[in-house]
Amino acid sequence: MLQFLKQNSYTIIKCFLNQIAIAMLGLMVAFATASNETFLLIGSLFSIAFYCYLMYYMFWEIGGKDRIYEDSDKKKSTPLRAFWICLIANIPNIILAVIVMATRPFAETSELAGNTYFICNILSRALHGMYVGVVQLYSPYNPIGLLLVVLPAPIISQIAYTFGNRNFRILGLFGIKQNLKDELR
């Protein structure tokens, strides 16, 4: 496990920093559209789609590079690499969500639990700024929602890694062929 962390520490940090950057975008969009629920939902869905696109693009390239190393026998196949990288990058989010779920029942009776709940809830929502509109509209008081928003990133990352490893492009489903000559320039 320690070897895995050493080999993938750059990607884990990059994944977490991408999340922070898109969370800031999501918070700005949420603050700008908070007065209208429809615009809040559309803005949140845009932020989520942009975040998923960034994750997809990053892990598609990693999967493609890994395929080159696997074909030349320089590296052994790691089929769930992207899932674990993204899950490790989301450990702070998971910890915050678990703390929020654990302190929620005691928030009104204990000052320490209430303060811990409040701080961790704010931090968790800030780290998931792209999901703020969806969580606020459909699950504002359910702390399980803060844990469920962690799931799309590892799933998208693993799908992208698998597609990149097999050199499968989504645009090919729509009949769009990428001009590879333009990439070589």
Contact in structure between 27 and 132 (CB atoms under 8 Å): yes
Q: Would you state the pLDDT for residue 181?
A: 58
Phi-psi region of 110 (alpha: psi -120 to 50; beta: other; left: phi over 0): beta
Give the whole-angstrom CA distance, residue 54 versus residue 173.
Answer: 20
| pLDDT mean for each 10 residues of the chain (185 residues) | 88 93 94 92 94 92 88 80 93 93 91 94 91 87 85 93 87 68 53
Instruction: Note the pTM of the prediction, 2 decimals.
Output: 0.84
Would you state the pLDDT for residue 25? 94
Q: In the prediction, which pLDDT does 183 show?
A: 54
